[in-house]
């Protein structure tokens, strides 16, 4: 039996949440569930210059939307609160002092200009060692102040030893090698810790056993392992996930791909369960005989770090479109109708629910669900049911394609339907069939096209007779009369 894992996702609220955050959260949550442990959400907001208003809330909302919400978080609290680094500033300082005392860290007063100058010279002389040149190491403030490039408020740097261990074990990759780190800043001039210090201190204090993060952090891991060693702590397990890639294999970024924004999926009308399933498939394709469509519980059941490939998975939205359709069609009609209405309100398709709107959507949902890819497509397909008979826009291109006898067809249809007692799909269909297909000897295609254009404004629409039943007799007749007149 594995010991219960404590996992965490640790996004920085620096903009719209990235889809990678959800990807990490999926594994965090799966591993926590599989081992009977807990999944923590920590907000890493120590980089004050990059904070974006509203971003933190979006992180909570989008993870909750996906069903990947944490067991402990700034919102929920928990035994290791606070879970937001800006509220933990007092926590970090004593560890910095200890590292300085033990000779593992030192103050550095070098100004930004001096560091830039140093880097320039290193580049020009093509030196292989491009890290900080340790000018301040071993100096007192007074000694350093006499030299140029002095800044009043120092930072604190790690003193990375020559024999720093550069390889470590990764749950996905096995033995991993990383480059030799620079004397990393751990405390900034503004008194805030850097990511490197804060992540180690918090992961330790919060009892994190498994760190799941993107492969871009592999090069930072030797520094983190040094900090664990110096502070006398056991390091957690590491799982560095491959980066998601675009179909052209480039790294997925918010600048290049709208799908890198987690909110994008919700805006486009994807179902959270479809996106979650899609992210599961990116982890590893199903084994032979296993299905692509699988629940989170099934994912947890079969979860295994060893199955995850280190090759960055290709983020192909076509696959998601397919999955979304599958999930849409697996919903009971009333549930799908509810989601269409919620989406309409959330996206601004509707500013409020029109009178009878819910009932109309519920009745019409079966007419469109078969071909629906996203929730966003639903209401535009049904717009004709919400337009008034005179505001319905009739597509001139559709009218132009009608045969010359369209006026006659509409006239016969109007007379036939006026007398129809029972206004049901079957009765409408049968009456029109008798009058137009049999009576006028028309092919069904030509018989019903004018009626379709009259009722929906388009040549292509949801099923006609069902639509007429939902629209009602008066509206249907009014629309047929209107087009007859306009022809």
Nearer to ligand GLU, 261 or 479 (CB): 261
# binding residues, ligand GLU (CB under 6 A): 8
CB of 267 to ligand GLU, least distance (A): 22
Contact between 251 and 245 under an 8 Å Cβ cutoff? The reply is: yes
Window 139-198: residues binding ligand GLU (CB under 6 A): 195
CB of 268 to ligand GLU, least distance (A): 24
Nearer to ligand GLU, 217 or 350 (CB): 217
Nearer to ligand GLU, 239 or 413 (CB): 239
Tell me which residue has its CB nearest to ligand GLU.
Answer: 213
Q: Which of 34, 188, 251, 254 is catalytic?
A: 254
Nearer to ligand GLU, 210 or 374 (CB): 210
HEC letters along 408-470: HHHHHHHHHHHCCCCCCHHHHHHHHHHHHHHHCCCCHHHHHHHHHHHHHCCCCCCCHHHHHHH
CB of 282 to ligand GLU, least distance (A): 18
Candidates 8-16, 300-308, 355-363, 468-476: pick the segment binding ligand GLU (CB under 6 A).
8-16
Nearer to ligand GLU, 218 or 428 (CB): 218
CB of 163 to ligand GLU, least distance (A): 25
Residue 473 known to be catalytic: no
Distance CA 251, CA 220 (A): 19
Nearer to ligand GLU, 12 or 210 (CB): 12
Candidates 10-18, 147-155, 240-248, 276-284: pick the segment binding ligand GLU (CB under 6 A).
10-18
CB of 62 to ligand GLU, least distance (A): 14
Candidates 4-12, 100-108, 115-123, 282-290: pick the segment binding ligand GLU (CB under 6 A).
4-12
Kindly list the distances between the CA atom of residue 126 and the CA atoms of 118, 122, 123, 129, 183, in Å, as whole numbers in the listed order. 12, 6, 5, 9, 19
CB of 78 to ligand GLU, least distance (A): 18
Cα–Cα–Cα angle for 480, 484, 487, rounded to 5 degrees: 135
Q: For the chain, report the end-to-end CA distance as a whole number of angstroms.
A: 77
Distance CA 435, CA 431 (A): 6
Cα–Cα–Cα angle for 28, 33, 35, rounded to 5 degrees: 100
Contact between 15 and 49 under an 8 Å Cβ cutoff? The reply is: no
Binding flag, residue 11, ligand GLU (CB under 6 A): yes
Nearer to ligand GLU, 110 or 218 (CB): 218
Window 24-53: residues binding ligand GLU (CB under 6 A): 44
Among the listed residues 7, 12, 58, 277, the single contact to ligand GLU using CB under 6 A: 12
Distance CA 23, CA 359 (A): 37
Query: DSSP labels for 150-199?
Result: EEEEEEEEE---TT---EEEETTTEEEE-PPPP--EEE-TTSPBPHHHHH
Distance CA 214, CA 14 (A): 17
Window 192-251: residues binding ligand GLU (CB under 6 A): 195, 199, 213, 217
CB of 12 to ligand GLU, least distance (A): 4
Q: Which two structure tokens, joined as six digits, stand for 397?
A: 């291109």
The residue count of the chain comes to 487
Q: Which two structure tokens, joined as six digits, stand for 105?
A: 């860290």
**Footprint of ligand GLU (CB under 6 A):** 10-12, 44, 195, 199, 213, 217
Q: Which residues participate in catalysis according to the annotation?
A: 254
């Amino acid at each position: 039996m594995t010991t219960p894992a404590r996992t965490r996702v640790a996004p920085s609220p620096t903009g719209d949440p990235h889809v990678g955050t959800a990807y990490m959260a999926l594994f965090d949550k799966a591993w926590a569930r599989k081992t009977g442990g807990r999944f923590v959400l920590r907000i890493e907001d120590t980089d004050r210059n990059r904070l974006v208003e509203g971003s933190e809330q979006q992180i909570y909302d989008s993870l909750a939307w996906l069903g990947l919400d944490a067991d402990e978080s700034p919102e929920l609290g928990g035994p290791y609160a606070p879970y937001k680094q800006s509220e933990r500033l007092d926590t970090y300082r004593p560890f910095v002092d200890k590292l300085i005392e033990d000779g593992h860290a030192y103050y550095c007063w070098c100004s930004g200009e001096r560091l830039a100058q140093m880097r320039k010279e290193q580049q020009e002389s093509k030196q292989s060692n491009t890290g900080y040149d340790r000018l301040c190491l071993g100096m007192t403030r007074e000694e350093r102040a006499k030299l140029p490039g002095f800044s009043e408020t120092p930072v604190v740097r790690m003193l990375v030893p020559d024999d720093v261990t550069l390889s470590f074990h990764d749950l996905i990759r096995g033995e991993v090698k990383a480059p030799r780190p620079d004397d990393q800043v751990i405390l900034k001039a503004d008194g805030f810790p850097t990511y490197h210090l804060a992540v180690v201190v918090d992961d330790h204090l919060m009892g994190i056993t498994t760190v799941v993060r993107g492969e871009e952090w592999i090069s930072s891991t030797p520094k983190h392992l040094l900090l664990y060693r110096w502070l006398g702590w056991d390091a957690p397990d590491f799982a560095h996930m491959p980066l998601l890639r675009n179909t052209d294999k480039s790294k997925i970024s918010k600048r290049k791909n709208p799908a890198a924004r987690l909110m994008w999926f919700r805006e486009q009308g994807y179902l959270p369960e479809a996106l979650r399933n899609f992210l599961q498939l990116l982890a590893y394709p199903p084994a032979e005989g296993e299905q692509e469509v699988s629940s989170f519980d099934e994912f947890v059941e079969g979860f295994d770090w060893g199955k995850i490939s280190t090759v960055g998975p290709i983020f192909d939205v076509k696959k998601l479109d397919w999955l979304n359709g599958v999930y849409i069609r697996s919903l009971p009609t009333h549930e799908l109708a509810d989601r269409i209405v919620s989406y309409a309100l959330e996206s601004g398709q509707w500013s409020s629910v029109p009178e009878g709107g819910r009932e109309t959507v519920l009745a019409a949902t079966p007419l469109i669900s078969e071909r629906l890819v996203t929730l966003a497509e639903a209401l535009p397909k049904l717009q004709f049911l919400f337009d008034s008979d005179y505001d319905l826009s009739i597509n001139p291109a559709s009218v132009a394609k009608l045969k010359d006898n369209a006026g006659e067809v509409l006239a016969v249809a109007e007379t036939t339907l006026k007398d129809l007692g029972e206004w049901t799909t079957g009765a409408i269909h049968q009456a029109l069939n008798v009058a137009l297909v049999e009576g006028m000897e028309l092919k069904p295609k030509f018989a019903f096209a004018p009626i379709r254009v009259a009722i929906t404004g388009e040549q292509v629409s949801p099923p006609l007779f069902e639509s007429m039943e939902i629209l009602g007799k008066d509206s249907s007749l009014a629309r047929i009369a209107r087009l007859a007149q306009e022809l």
